[in-house]
Structure formats: structure tokens, C-alpha cells
Amino acid sequence: MPALPLSATEAALENQRFGGLQLKVALLCGLTQAFDGYDLNAIGMAAPALSHAWNVPPAAFASAFVMSSVGIMVGALSAGPAGDRLGRKPVIITGLLFIGLFSLASTFAGSLPTLTVLRFFTGIGIGALMPATVALSSDYAPERMRAVVIMLVFVGNPIGGFLGGQLIAMMLPSFGWTSIFVVGGVLPLALIPVQLLWLPESPRFLLRRGRFSPREQRLFRTLNVEPAARGHAVDVATGNPVAGLFRDGLAPTTLLVWVLFFANLLSMFLISYWLPTVLHLSGFSPAGAVFAASMQAAGGIIGTLMLGALSLRFGASRVIAVSLASGVLMIGAVGLLTMPYLLLLAAIFCMGSCTVGSQTAANGMVAALYPARVRTTGMGWALGIGRLGGISGPALGGLLLGLGWPPRQILLCACATALIATACTLLLRLRVQRRTPELILGRT
């Protein structure tokens, strides 16, 4: 990616100090990601209990899993250009509203087709939040720390999945499957007034608008930008943001990112959606299956933190490639080996550390690859194209389960896609090293 000359305003934003304002934005975006992570896993955690309640075979839930991923794809593809043209904050509020309303509506679903439709609309909200939170937290992160800040923001996603799994494991025996969607609806709706009050809009969009409240003027002074100055030249989209992903030498990078996200999200969604059902078919109770499957999200938390720290030392792409390759071994162990209970929990934890942790780290790496004017679109379309993998993974799992494959062995398909994701990460590293040796994917 060629280096472009920066205006004084853009240089101030790219080299801002990481202080209280930046930390607040990162925490609020991370909290949004936590609720996003809960709702992302909600349908998978509900499937074992719903299978008993509605007398539906487990493989039938593939339709709900797939349509949830379709909704996520639609939300991500739509939110990317919207966030780059209209601002990040409106997309975040809209995403929370979609998740909250349609999760609550899911408690009234009386059949699998109805639930499938509702999960599609919930998925739109989930998909919208991912690129918008990445872009907004990127706008409040200095360039030298951007990839690591995004990794830490995305830690909220597996935290939501893990804590949600623990909560559901306790609530499910007493309150039933509807409690999963009540929690998934109430919490995002409760977060909306918090975000409206405390979450600032991207400084680039505020500058383009040109009218500043006293609060916004204080914000700009914190960023070392003089709001009264004329002619702020800031990096925002002016044309078609999607076309911008293929200009200025970005086309090969964009294509590699899309294949990376497709492959790894196929692995991740195949595992995350089907793991509770696979464990239930292996002899676990519904609550026990949810508890054990939540170890995957717990592994994602620790994996992301470790990858963030290691990336500062060795470079993000190198660390992610090693993590993805390690994930192949861990997926194979869970799919093929018979292990004692505690050892199985440890293997699921390590599998999540490699798969979920790598995807979270890849989000940070990719956010740092794109300039601000197409950052939300770049992340949105990467996540949207990746959701084609997220659609294929659950569908593939349902097909194989319906064909009579041993439950755990359906996870083995994720080994091949994890290898493809590893290769794409290495190619991205080679490409960036050839163009700009000191850029983003390595140490800055």
C-alpha cells in the first residue's frame, strides 16, 4: 500500500496519544463486542435444549445456523459502506437495536422456521456491529498501536461467548431455552442509552460535518486538533468505498484478506455452532454441553491476549500463522481422540485459543491494513465475504451429521480450511514486506 502524504489534521489523528479518551472508546466498543459475542453463540447454545423441547432432530438446526450467518453477512456488507459514508456511531446504535429486538422476539418463536427467520434479522445486527466497532476504535487509536488495540477490543467477543455460556449453563435447567434470548435481547437494548451518551463519533466525520458542540470541541483539543481551523483535510470516503478496496495497490491485499476470512470463519463457525450439539450427542446433558463448549470462547480470550502481546514482539502475521497452524492439531485432537473429561475441556480451550484467537487477531491486522477512508468497508466486506464461510461451515456440519458421520469427526473439515487461512496470512506478510518493509504486519 503506497504511503500517501498526510495533512496536519490527519497526521495529528494518526499520531494521537493513547489516553483516557482512547481507552473509553476501546472499552465501550469492547463491551459492544461482548454482547455481540453472546448473541453470536446464542443459537448454538440453545439448539440442544430446543431439540428436546420441539422434538426436532439436531441436524435440522442447520437452517437456523445458516440463516444467522446469512444475516451476519448482510449486516457486515451493508454496514461497511454505511459506516464509511455516514459515520460509525449510527451503525453501532442500529446494530444494537436489531440484536435486542429480534432476540426478544425469538422468545416467542414456536417453531424452527419462525426462529430461523428471527435469527436472520438478529444476524444483521451482529454483522453490523463488527466492522463499525473496529473502525471507530481504529479512529481513536494511534497508527503504531492500531492492530493491538483492535485485538483487545475484539477480546470482548469471546468474553461474551464464554460468560454467556457459563450463565446459560446455570439458567437453562431452571428457566429453559427462552432465557437465552431474553438475556441476549435485554443487554444490547440497555447498552443503547450508554452509547448514545458516552460514545463519541469518529473525529473524521465530526470534522467533515463542520458544526461542533462544546463537548466536541473539547474532544478535538484532546486529539491536538484545532476545531476552529479551516479546511481540515481528513481521510473519509468520497466515492464508492467498495471500489476503494481495489485502488491504490490494495486489490491483491483485499483478495487475500477475503480468502483468509472465508477459510477461518468456515472453521470457526462450523465448530462454534455445532460443538454444543456434537458434545450433547456424545453423551453430555444440554447444560453440560453448553458449559464444555464455552471453553472454546474462554480459549479465545486468552489466545487473543497472548497473540496481541506476541504480535508486538514478532509481528502480527507471523504469530497468527503459527496460531492457525497449531489450530489444525487441536481440531484434530478434539475430533479424533477419546479423552478424559478434564483433558477434553483443555483441548477445547486450546482449540478456541487457536481458532477464535487467530480470527480476533486477524481483525486487528486487517484493520491496520486499510486507510481510514475505506476502513469500515474493508472490515465489513472482509467479514461479509468471510460469512460465506460462516454459512458454509454450519451447512456442511448439518449435511455430514445427517449423512451419519460420527459427531466429533464433522469438526475435522475445519483442519483443511485452517491450513488455507495459514497460507493466506503468510502471503499477506510477504506482500507487505515487499511493498513497505516496516509497515503494520511487522513491528512498527
> Residue 340 maps to which CATH number?
1.20.1250.20
Q: What is the pLDDT along the chain (444 residues), one digit of tens a residue?
A: 444 455 677 777 777 888 888 899 999 999 999 988 888 788 888 888 898 889 988 878 888 888 888 898 899 888 877 877 778 899 999 999 999 999 999 999 989 999 999 999 999 999 899 888 988 988 898 877 877 788 788 888 888 888 888 888 888 888 989 999 999 999 999 999 999 999 998 888 888 777 778 888 888 888 887 765 554 444 444 557 778 788 878 888 899 999 999 999 898 888 887 888 888 888 888 888 888 888 888 888 888 888 878 877 787 788 899 999 999 899 888 888 888 989 999 999 999 999 888 888 887 777 777 777 777 778 778 888 887 887 888 788 888 888 888 877 888 888 888 889 999 999 988 876 665 443 434 443
Please answer whether residues 375 and 288 qualify as being in contact, where contact means their C-beta atoms are separated by less than 8 angstroms: no
As for how many domains the chain has, the answer is 1
Which residues, other chains included, contact 230 with Cβ-Cβ below 8 Å and sequence gap of 6+? none
Nearest residue to 370 via CA among 240, 228, 217, 241 = 241
- Whether residue 444 is contained in a domain is answered as no
* Domain extent at residue 231: 8-435
Angstrom distance (rounded) from CA 209 to CA 202? 11
* Per-state percent for the chain, helix, strand, coil, to nearest 5: 80, 0, 20
pTM above 0.95, yes or no: no
pLDDT of residue 441: 42
- Whether residue 441 is contained in a domain is answered as no
- Whether residue 359 is contained in a domain is answered as yes
Please answer whether residues 441 and 317 qualify as being in contact, where contact means their C-beta atoms are separated by less than 8 angstroms: yes
Angstrom distance (rounded) from CA 307 to CA 430? 19
pLDDT of residue 191: 95
| Cα torsion 149, 379, 261, 158: sign | positive
Please answer whether residues 375 and 245 qualify as being in contact, where contact means their C-beta atoms are separated by less than 8 angstroms: no
- Whether residue 34 is contained in a domain is answered as yes
- Whether residue 443 is contained in a domain is answered as no
Distance spanning both ends of the chain, measured CA to CA: 15
pLDDT of residue 239: 57
Please answer whether residues 80 and 380 qualify as being in contact, where contact means their C-beta atoms are separated by less than 8 angstroms: yes
**Looking at beta carbons, which pairs linking 320-324 to residues 24 or more positions away fall under 8 Å?**
320/358, 320/361, 320/362, 320/365, 320/425, 321/422, 321/425, 321/426, 321/429, 323/353, 323/354, 323/357, 323/358, 323/361, 324/264, 324/354, 324/355, 324/358, 324/418, 324/419, 324/421, 324/422, 324/425
Angstrom distance (rounded) from CA 92 to CA 89? 5
Cell of 120: 436472520
